[in-house]
Amino acid sequence: MTTLHIVDDDEAIRDALGWLFQSRNVPVAGWPSAESFLESWRPDTVGCLLLDIRMEGMSGLELFDRLLSKGCRMPVIFLTGHGDVPIAVGALKKGARDFVEKPFNDNELVDRVIDALAFDAEQREREAGQAGLAARLATLTQRERQVMELVVAGRLNKVIADELGISMRTVEVHRSHVFEKMRVKTAVELTRLLTGAA
Amino acid sequence: MTTLHIVDDDEAIRDALGWLFQSRNVPVAGWPSAESFLESWRPDTVGCLLLDIRMEGMSGLELFDRLLSKGCRMPVIFLTGHGDVPIAVGALKKGARDFVEKPFNDNELVDRVIDALAFDAEQREREAGQAGLAARLATLTQRERQVMELVVAGRLNKVIADELGISMRTVEVHRSHVFEKMRVKTAVELTRLLTGAA
DNA sequence: GCGGCTATTGTGGATATCCGCAGAGTCGGC
DNA sequence: GCCGACTCTGCGGATATCCACAATAGCCGC
């Protein structure tokens, strides 16, 4: 289980939520403002976000926007005592995970947070696989990448040789280097890797 | 542009919406109840749905559920004068396209409907490609399908022959039949077809 | 300048794939 | 019973792919 980040400018609420989640064995971190969380956020911050909408300074919605533009993919649950439908709809359409009104039912909120944390874990697992892939892709040279793209496009070696204006033999060399670096044995496996198939 | 299906038990609202959308050149069909629309719905019904939540008889939400279980993929916009946040959040999380409160702004509603119609058109375009694929897949025999799966899994012919307990030559025959029926020339192309790559 | 990386090409041989020609057995429909 | 399908198999040859061995050349850093 990873951390639930609670951003709310009301210390009493942060404390109450802190107790609630710690009693359910959900690790919690509290932040008194959108600014403070934004400052401490790093691309490798994991878990989920419980975000109050109305706060002094930056609002929860604005924090959400800023995080999105920074590439943050953590699931976000909005919490608000002033929630209205257009705001909820807008937040969800932008990609928020959930939207809960105060006063909330403790068990329900816990369920939603756990759901969001599970989603985050799954998402990171998926991305971990992609990270290894990206690392292997990074070891390819330009030429190898070109050849790889044509191989994955279904071209035969002779056609690739034509298109790149080099000999078939050279294509074979690059091709085998690609297979080795990408740790596959056939063009089909490589295609599956790059198109993200099971 | 395809049809906007308006489901609302208030004739005055249906009429008003009908005028609004017809003036914007959006074809409209009106339904006085969830039941009436559900009855007339067919898997090839296209466009988008504008659904009132509170109605005599079946509610808009229930209609949505029923349509989903029938495999309906039309984008749905909920319209309600009694909307509250939990309902909106629930509807959107179930896959509704949008959620609008009455009273609404005419231009905004039109924009959202047009957005939903465009989404529906794109979605059907994507599915059209898949339909041709499905048709070709249907022409394969059991054996050809088995061979195809192993080919796409990256196995060599000799391995496939082993796994199926048949000779390599037979695998080659099935393989070439698969290529012919699926209209591809290489295993890589076939893999791309089946994994839905660009 | 030497060593390492990249890109290039060739020869030749082992494997794999693609295909036409030929034949055979099963099963279901007319 | 014959015909059409699906399945199975072998032979041989044309292509394609995989790979070890061998070599040339430019670029970059130590």
State pLDDT tens for residues B134-181. Answer: 888 988 999 999 999 999 999 999 999 999 999 999 999 999 999 999
Cβ of B88: how many Cβ atoms within 10 Å? 27
Write the CA distances from A153 to A11, A103, A140, A195, B55, integer angstroms: 57, 55, 17, 11, 53
> What is d(CA B81, CA B90) in angstroms, rounded to the nearest whole number?
17
Q: Give me the residue from B98, B154, B156 closest to A89, CB to CB.
A: B98
Whether the CB of A115 is below 8 Å from some CB of chain B: the reply is: no
Give the side-chain half-sphere CA count within 13 A for B38: 17
List the single residue in A with minimal CA-CA distance to B187: A188
Give the side-chain half-sphere CA count within 13 A for B150: 19
Q: What is the ipTM of this complex?
A: 0.77
Chain B residues in contact with A149 by the CB 8 A cut-off are: none
| Structure token digits, residue B192 | 């791309």
The verdict on a CB contact (< 8 Å) between A151 and B86 is no
The residue of A105, A150, A186 whose CB has the most chain B CBs within 10 angstroms, and thus the best one to mutate to test that interface, is A186
- Listed in order, strand segments (DSSP E) in chain B are 4-7, 28-31, 48-52, 76-80, 98-101
All domains of chain A, ordered by start, with CATH?
A: 4-128 (3.40.50.2300), 139-194 (1.10.10.10)
Say how far A157 CA is from C14 C1', in Å. 18
One digit per residue, pLDDT tens: chain A, 198 residues?
Answer: 689 999 999 999 999 999 999 999 999 999 999 999 999 999 999 999 999 999 999 999 999 999 999 999 999 999 987 768 899 999 999 999 999 998 889 999 999 999 999 999 999 999 888 888 888 888 888 889 999 999 999 999 999 999 999 999 999 999 999 999 999 999 999 999 888 765
Residue linked to tokens 């025999």: B141
Say how far A190 CA is from C2 C1', in Å. 38
